Amino acid sequence: MDPLFLDMFGRVLDDALPAEVTRAIGDGAPFDESWAAVAASGFLDALLPEAAGGAGLGMPFGLFFRLGEQAAALPVAETMVARALLHAGGVAAPDGPVALADLTNGRFLPYGAVARHLLVDTGGVLQLLPMAAVDARRVAGAGSTAAQLVGPGGAPVAELARPVDGLLPVVAVLYAAQMAGAVQRVLEMTVAYAGTRRQFGKPIGRQQAVQQNLAVMAEEAMLAAIAAQVGCAGDSLRIGREAAAVAKTVAGRAAGRVAALAHAVFGAIGISAEHALQLYTRRLRQWAFAAGGAGYWSGVLGADRLAQGAGLLSVDYVRRVAGGPAA
Amino acid sequence: MLKRLGYHAIPPEDEALRAPLRALLAEHMAGRPADLRARSWMGHDAELSRKLGRAGYIGLTFPKRYGGGGRSAFARFVVVEELLAVGAPVAAHWIADRQSGPLLLNFGTEAQKERYLPGIARGVTYFCIGMSEPDSGSDLASIRTRAGRTADGWRLDGQKIWTTGAQHADFMIALARTGEAGEGKGGRHEGLSQLIVDLRAPGVTVRPIPDLAGDEHFCEVFFDGVRLAPDALVGTEGAGWAQVTAELAFERSGPERIYSSVVLLDAWIGHLARNGADAEATRLVGALTAELTALRMASLAVTALLAAGEKPATEASLVKDLGTSFEQDVPARIGDYLAAHPDEPVEEELLRTLFYLSAVVPSFSLRGGTREILRGIIARGLGLR
């Protein structure tokens, strides 16, 4: 991805969704101004074809990763995907944030309480519904923007064809890419803290035990990013279930391990509401939980692997999943 | 901070190496049971090494003028992947191909390259690496083997241990003290040099050490007044530490470090195909497959950095530590699964493979640098040291 494009996106996010805004939105403050700033930047339509005013991107790993680094408090990635799908289906996109849901799975919506619309995969079609018409309940808790879908919604305002493999792989991959970004940011925060926090007369980052844990965090961050890129490979929103499974399983594992190790290094201050670490670790856990967790996606991948038969080497199977030429 | 690793595809001309190599291996390895295949790069088979050399699969990245293939790191990735996918016994030429050859290319004299590289590429000249000593493991700078200048070359005295493949190798590249350590931080890395030792020379004694799996792959090697020619020195006298560090970076950067347990994974998938897979088995197959996919792409990203002429030492350490953890995880998790299903009959071949790997996997995070050393390198890459 063009680094200038990415820098521009980063500046939009830093202006519209800085940490204090993330906190305020988590406390229930209105966010129309912030959203309007993101919308005015044009990035919400980045996935549309260039002829339609977009940037013609498939699944933009770089943008989603950057959203993860921001621990964004609004469903920017979901809305980007929704607007591209709506455009492809010839449906005018509504204003405001859009949440994505798959009725057959993943009814926990990390941004369900702040979305204005819901694009839902019924298993047969995609339906666009105003959030007000959907039976969803906010999941209460500090900093929560999440809601749980309780039952089917009311009348849709539009219907369109669903992607070949459904919406769930797309949602799983956009959370995987955001987890990769958040994990990287948490690693950087933790390394910086370990370099300044002194105990026993020296920075804790000089202690070998702490260095070993930070090295593990770096490993997990690297693997999460590469797995998310496996999910985002290709130039369309047509995400295979197997590639999504790699992305969500591996990034989800990284999210859990990195969150735990970061909190261990930060100690008590990381548990405080005031510290920014919790903004990231909360998102990491919710993104890992939503759209099918590691257990769900491992089951999907394992079933496909076993269906290929024992005659196929694992090496050939992973080459195929990662988008290499067919074995 | 570390470089972000990207998503890379293998160029088609390198992918094209797969099919003929696969045919060669299928013929050579027909009927070989999984527990033997699981030995892979511990398995010595000079006949296979010669076949691979004849067909041009060894020394792929060496220049053609030394008998190599003049190919990229991607070509080597493909060949290594094919060899390990089926557990080909590659030990005979393995160290020469992946470590000694590249070391000589980087630091050797023209005469050394002409003398050794063509034989390596033909699969007939085998090397081992003399690093560890009885009192020097991770603390490599503390070695006591000494090489001193004589009127007609060098005289080598001392002892190496845990030297893989020394009993089959023609030559060792030994790290020896040739001068005194310096003062201050890093001073102990001074005065070390690398020398090529003909293992058939008088004064060399090689004694294999049986391992816990009943195999003999590592050895003790004694040097008692071994006379070396003046041109035994590799690279610069006293620069051995920097050269060894570069050599170990090659060691850590290939796909070798993710596939050591893949034969067991495939044998277990065969077992599930015969006995049926419950939800737990299916999830475990998926989890291991997801990790392997990501590891492969990470390894390929390091290969791309190598192909671009970079020296990704820290990134290679990340992949190696993750890869060896995965390789160690595979027998542990498959063993747990089988033990949780005691009513399911397990084929003896699968059991032999499981217990062989379970016994040897601790070595995966020892050879070529321990897990703790690798994490120290990563911490340095993060700016913590």
pLDDT per position as a tens digit, B131-174:
999 999 999 999 999 999 999 999 999 999 999 999 999 999 99
Give A140→chain B minimum CA distance, Å. Answer: 31
Q: How big is the A-B interface in CB pairs under 8 Å?
A: 173
Partners of residue B133 on adjacent β-strands? B136
B12 touches chain A (CB under 8 A): yes
- The residue ranking higher by pLDDT, A169 or B255, is A169
Q: Three-state DSSP class for A119?
A: strand
Dist. CA A138–CA A129, nearest whole Å: 17
pLDDT per position as a tens digit, B329-380:
999 999 999 999 999 999 999 999 999 999 999 999 998 889 999 999 999 9
To probe the interface with B, which of A314, A316, A317 has the most B CB atoms within 10 Å? A314
B297 contact residues in A (CB cutoff 8 A): 226-227, 229-230, 322
Task: Please choose, from the candidates A291, A303, A190, A309, the residue with its C-alpha nearest in 3D space to the C-alpha of residue A247.
Answer: A291
How many Cα atoms within 13 Å fall on the side-chain side of residue A318?
30
Q: Using the predicted structure, report yes or no on whether residue A90 has a pLDDT greater than 90.
A: yes
Q: Using the predicted structure, report yes or no on whether residue A326 has a pLDDT greater than 60.
A: no
Tokens 């965090």 sit on residue: A217
Tokens 């797309």 sit on residue: A170
Mean pLDDT across A143-170: 90
- B255: nearest CA partner in chain A: A315
Dist. CA B126–CA B134, nearest whole Å: 24
**Per-residue H/E/C for A123-156:** CCEEEEEEHHHCCEEECCCCCCCCEEECCCCCCC
pLDDT per position as a tens digit, A296-321:
999 999 999 999 999 999 999 999 99
The two beta strands, A198-199 and A136-138, are unpaired
What residues contact B274, with CB distance under 8 A and at least 6 apart? none
Q: Three-state DSSP class for A98?
A: strand
Mean pLDDT across B58-74: 96
Mean pLDDT across B306-317: 88
Give B300→chain A minimum CA distance, Å. Answer: 10
Q: Three-state DSSP class for A101?
A: strand
- B295: nearest CA partner in chain A: A223
- B374: nearest CA partner in chain A: A215
What A314-317 contacts at long range (C-beta under 8 Å, 24+ apart), as own/partner pairs, is: A314/B85, A314/B262, A314/B265, A314/B266, A314/B269, A314/B289, A314/B292, A315/B81, A315/B82, A315/B84, A315/B85, A315/B259, A315/B262, A315/B296, A316/B85, A317/B289
Mean pLDDT across A59-88: 97
The two beta strands, B192-198 and B233-234, are antiparallel
Per-residue confidence at A154, pLDDT binned at 50, 70, 90? confident
Per-residue confidence at A106, pLDDT binned at 50, 70, 90? low
Backbone angles phi, psi at A7, to 5 degrees: -60, -40
The two beta strands, A98-102 and A117-121, are parallel
Mean pLDDT score across all residues of chain A: 94
What pLDDT is attached to residue A325? 35
Q: Using the predicted structure, report yes or no on whether residue B3 has a pLDDT greater than 80.
A: no
A326 touches chain B (CB under 8 A): no
Q: How many CB atoms lie within 10 A of CB B178?
A: 20
Buried b (16+ CB within 10 A) or exposed e, B194-231: bbbbebeeeebebebeeeebeebbbbbbbbeebebeee
Q: How many CB atoms lie within 10 A of CB B116?
A: 22
A38 touches chain B (CB under 8 A): no
Question: What ipTM was predicted for this assembly?
Answer: 0.96
What residues contact A82, with CB distance under 8 A and at least 6 apart? A93, A98, A100, A117, A119
pLDDT per position as a tens digit, A228-252:
999 999 778 888 999 999 999 999 9
Q: Using the predicted structure, report yes or no on whether residue A294 has a pLDDT greater than 80.
A: yes
pLDDT per position as a tens digit, A16-46:
999 999 999 999 999 999 999 999 999 999 9
pLDDT per position as a tens digit, B188-233:
999 999 999 999 999 999 999 999 999 999 999 999 999 999 999 9
Task: Please choose, from the candidates A259, A278, A280, the residue with its C-alpha nearest in 3D space to the C-alpha of residue A269.
Answer: A278
What pLDDT is attached to residue A151? 75
Q: How far is CA B41 from CA A217, B22, B45, B59, B91, in A?
A: 30, 17, 10, 16, 5
What pLDDT is attached to residue A212? 97
What pLDDT is attached to residue A327? 30
B270 touches chain A (CB under 8 A): yes
Mean pLDDT across B76-86: 96
Q: Using the predicted structure, report yes or no on whether residue B241 has a pLDDT greater than 60.
A: yes
Mean pLDDT across A204-229: 97
Q: What is the pTM of this model?
A: 0.96
Tell me whether residues B376 and A299 touch, CB distance under 8 A: no
Give B154→chain A minimum CA distance, Å. Answer: 40
